[in-house]
Amino acid sequence: MSTKAGYDNPDTVPPLRRFAGYIFVASIAMAIWAVFDPGSNALGLTVLAAFPLAAVCMVGFSRGQLQFVNSAGEITTYAFMIILVTSFVLAYRSFDVHALSWTGPALAAVVIDLCLVGLVAFFDRPNLHVRLLVSLSAICLFWGIGCANFANALLDTAPKQIFRPSIKPYSIPLGTNRGRSGGGGYARHFVVGPWGPITTTYDAVVTEFVYQRARDGRPVCVSLGRGFFDAAWYSYETCPTSP
């Protein structure tokens, strides 16, 4: 049976397209969870990061039954939407890890982006939709940024330095601030005193998860790592019990 026949076969296509729809719904659920659960763990974020690759492979190994570009030339398939949603959310969440140097992660992000787009080009080679590849190059860069920024921290096995700067939490109504939202329509901030390589007091937008720890009286520290890509990074976390 030809690819065209396989694609038009009503006994074959509906189950596969339904499966792609289920994966799309799962990706939406994971994205919502990642946005509204700032305390989400590394395993969950890894699953979120796997969705774009899974979407590409799902299309590539479907033997033409799933496509990125439909018969009308529109890039509106489930696979494309999975990549779009999860890439932006992953990049958004990755900025919970604060990089002091972007050289290594930026280079890694570009390489990751090109690898995924290259895989799409390989699967799409009978047609090679240039518009698709250009669109994915821009979108997948966000996926690459998210993957690289998280990898720089999560794969960093070197001992971390812990600093205990002065931290004063405060909130600003979202109508007057462009920062990320905490719960209840507020952007959550820390005024952070000097620590380690940072010699001045600065204002930081933080997640609801970290903010509530400070508000509850639990001391918040800064954890400084060397970085898997040799790019220093830091994050806010509950201070260890021992000094």
Are the beta carbons of 105 and 230 closer than 8 angstroms? no
Indicate if the pLDDT at residue 175 is higher than 60.
Answer: no
What pLDDT score does 65 carry? Answer: 75
Predicted confidence (pLDDT) at residue 3 exceeds the cutoff of 50: no
| Residues shown for the chain | 243
Question: Over the stretch 111-170, which tens digit does the pLDDT of each residue have?
Answer: 999 999 999 888 877 777 788 889 899 999 999 999 999 999 989 999 999 999 999 988
Per-residue confidence band for 5, with pLDDT thresholds at 50, 70 and 90: very low
Cα separation, 34 vs 38, in Å, equals: 7
Tens-digit pLDDT profile for residues 35-76: 877 555 778 888 999 999 999 988 888 877 777 776 655 666
Rounded Cα distance between 47 and 44, Å, is: 5
* pTM, two decimal places: 0.77
Q: Are strands 98-99 and 233-238 parallel, antiparallel or unpaired?
A: antiparallel
